[in-house]
Structure 1
Amino acid sequence: MSAEIYPKSTRELADLRRSLAPETEAAFQAFSKAVFSEGALSAKTKQLIAVAVAHVTQCPYCITGHTKAAQRAGASAQELMEAVWVAAEMRAGGAFAHSTLMLNTLDDRKS
């Protein structure tokens, strides 16, 4: 058994995934290309957002891939770390904000 938690993403696995649903794969690749192209947001900014979101969704493949893409787009290590801190704050902020549900439930139990 491998010591890896997640299997390595290999060309063979990518080819298999593509062969099992080629039209969907092509549509996803076109969508991804459109999303990450220059627009109102720079490609670098989009990749920094992707790195932050990848940390919230906890996708190791996305973290690795989008970190490399962000670096290719010109992002520095400091910018990447700030993006991760923004993600961490937003994740914590979501838990804090949702405490309203718990507090309202406590109030409901009193009545």
Structure 2
Amino acid sequence: MTEPLYPAPSRELSAKRRALAPETERAFQAFSRQVFADSALSGKFKQLIAVAVAHVTQCPYCIAGHTKAAMRQGASAEELMEAIWVASEMRAGAAFAHAALALTAMEEEQRPRAE
């Protein structure tokens, strides 16, 4: 059997990461707490955004962690799936929109070349 692409999260890995850059890790943790605190947007809404973004960035750790955090904040399975569908549309929409680059390149390639 092959090894998984992503190692399972563990206290040991977290400790190693923290030991290599403790001040940065503390600053990141403080930043994260501030970002996800209730303010103009509720913590639940912020976690739903995080779930959608995690699907676009395709981070398996963020998908699992923010899905669980969203549920702890009161998000339903239906709300989570809608957030994932929004992410899916945005990812597909970006590919669709970027077709303009390919269409432009096709036009440029079909133009007669000046010799």
TM class by shorter chain equals: over 0.9
Q: TM-score, normalised by structure 1?
A: 0.94
Other-structure match for 1:73? 73
CA RMSD between the two structures: 1.3
Deviations 1:26-50 (A, max 9, x none): 1111111111111111110100000
* Deviation of the 1:110 alpha carbon: 2.6
Encode CA deviations 1:43-93: one digit per residue, 9 max, x unaligned: 101000000111111111001100010001110000000000000000000
Gaps of 5+ in 1: none
Structure 2 distance, partners of 1:92, 1:4, is 27
Greater gyration radius: 2
Following superposition, the deviation at residue 107 of structure 1 comes to 1.5
Q: After TM superposition, what 4+ stretches of structure 1 lie above 3 angstroms from structure 2? A: 1-5
Unaligned runs of 5+ in 2: none
State the one-letter code of the partner of 2:102: M
CA distance in 2, matches of 1:91, 1:13: 31
* Amino acid of the structure 2 residue aligned with 1:26: R
Query: Which residue number in structure 2 is paired with residue 21 of structure 1?
Result: 21
